[in-house]
């Protein structure tokens, strides 16, 4: 395969570069690649490319003294994998003109242009890749990308090992392995991310149910004990709780306690100290401070008439809302 990507650089000077003459900013020299150095107003670009029947491999290394907008075109419908220091993603790009903003400094972008036929065959056996193929078949004139993954370091490291091959025969086989493994690793990452998302959603539902039933207990605000109960780290518990409630766990527990307290204030004649205790506050004074902070008034000033206009203004119109 050959490249479907062409840089559109006005007044740029390109020159073929031998392996032993690669510029100083080249961090990943590829002995078996064809190399071209391009000088632009903002700095230099080095392109190293390796053609293979499964995919064309192109490594773009930029050394820029100022931010630059790089215009490029895609000549044919293409399945492309972009790999940068920030991560990697697989996409379908229809023919057309594109642009990418490159900040000043040294940067590397690896682009694999996969064979259409090979990609179609691979994706038929990989369910998570089906959206890519479906889009290619139904909307071939529109760009589409699968999610990003954090494979960049391992991909760059494996690519660098290709430089250690001593013959073209070894190289061809190892490039085949590199392309296939890169594709498979990306797919595995997609599955892993989906599994992690499903796992977190289930944990979020479990935590939400537990807090709803135990918001008045001490454990509801004991992060270490909750984390141990749900077999996650405290950091992950905080993230999952945010997923479940949309706000930090501590804030959700207070909000739930306050709603339950106001419900009892309106619906029952229980004394304030008893309401406080039943909703997780052993100290009535601390309860009064928390209640005032949440509702703007201490519990002693609440008119305990059902559906009082004051509570309508507070957004607490009925018992159903409080639950």
SS3 156: helix
Q: What is the model's pLDDT at position 183?
A: 92
Please give the structure tokens belonging to residue 138: 């139904």
Per-residue confidence (pLDDT) for residue 308, from 0 to 100? 55
Q: What is the pLDDT of residue 304?
A: 72
| Per-residue model confidence as pLDDT tens digits over 165-203 | 656 667 888 899 999 999 998 888 887 765 556 667 778
- Do the Cβ atoms of 78 and 92 come closer than 8 Å? yes
Mind listing the pLDDT tens digit for each residue in 78-92? 999 999 988 888 999
Predicted local confidence at residue 232, as pLDDT: 76
Please tell me the predicted confidence (pLDDT) of residue 322: 39
Domains defined for the chain, CATH in brackets: 5-193 (no CATH), 218-323 (1.10.10.60)
Question: For the residues of 1-66, what is the DSSP string, one character each?
Answer: ----EEE--TT-EEEE--GGG--TT-SS--TTSEEEEEEETTEEEEEEEEE-SSEEEEEEEEEESS
**Kind of pairing between the strands at 78-84 and 87-93:** antiparallel
**Residue ranges in the chain whose pLDDT is less than 70:** 10-11, 163, 165-169, 193-199, 305-323
Please tell me the distance from the alpha carbon of residue 105 to that of residue 101, in angstroms, as a whole number: 12
Q: pTM for this one? A: 0.62
H-assigned helices in the chain: 116-124, 130-138, 152-161, 168-214, 223-229, 234-245, 249-267, 272-278, 284-295, 309-313, 319-322
Stated length of the chain? 323
- Alpha-carbon gap, residue 160 to 323, rounded angstroms: 60
Q: Torsion angle of alpha carbons 128, 134, 136, 140, nearest 10°? A: -150
Residue 146 CA from chain centroid, whole number: 11
SS3 assignment, position 280:
coil
């Amino acid at each position: 395969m050959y490249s479907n990507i062409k840089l559109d650089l006005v007044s740029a000077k390109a020159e073929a570069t031998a392996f032993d003459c690669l510029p100083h900013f080249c961090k990943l020299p590829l002995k078996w690649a064809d190399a071209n150095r391009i000088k632009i107003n903002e700095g230099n670009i080095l392109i190293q490319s390796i053609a293979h029947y499964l995919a064309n491999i192109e490594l773009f290394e930029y050394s820029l003294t100022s931010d630059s907008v790089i215009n490029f075109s895609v000549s044919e419908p293409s399945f492309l994998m972009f790999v940068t220091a920030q991560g990697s993603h697989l996409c379908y790009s229809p023919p057309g003109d594109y642009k990418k903003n490159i900040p000043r400094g040294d940067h590397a972008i690896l682009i694999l242009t996969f064979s259409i036929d090979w990609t179609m065959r691979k994706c038929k056996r990989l369910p998570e890749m089906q959206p890519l193929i479906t889009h290619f078949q139904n909307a071939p004139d529109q760009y589409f990308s699968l999610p990003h993954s954090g494979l960049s370091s391992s991909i760059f490291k494996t690519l660098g090992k290709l430089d250690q091959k001593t013959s073209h025969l070894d190289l061809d086989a190892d490039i085949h392995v590199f392309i296939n493994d890169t594709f498979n690793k990306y797919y595995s990452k997609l599955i892993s991310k989906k599994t992690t998302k499903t796992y977190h959603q289930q944990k979020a539902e479990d935590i939400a149910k537990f807090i709803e039933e135990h918001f008045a207990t001490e454990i509801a605000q004991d992060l270490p004990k909750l984390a141990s109960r749900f077999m996650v780290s405290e950091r992950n518990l905080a993230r999952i709780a945010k997923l479940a409630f949309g706000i930090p766990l501590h804030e959700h527990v207070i909000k739930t306690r306050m709603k339950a307290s106001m419900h009892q204030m309106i619906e029952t004649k229980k004394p304030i100290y008893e309401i406080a205790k039943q909703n997780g506050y052993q100290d009535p004074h601390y309860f009064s401070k928390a209640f005032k902070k949440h509702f703007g008034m201490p519990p002693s000033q609440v008119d305990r008439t059902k559906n009082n206009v004051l509570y309508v203004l507070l957004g607490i119109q009925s018992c159903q809302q409080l639950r």
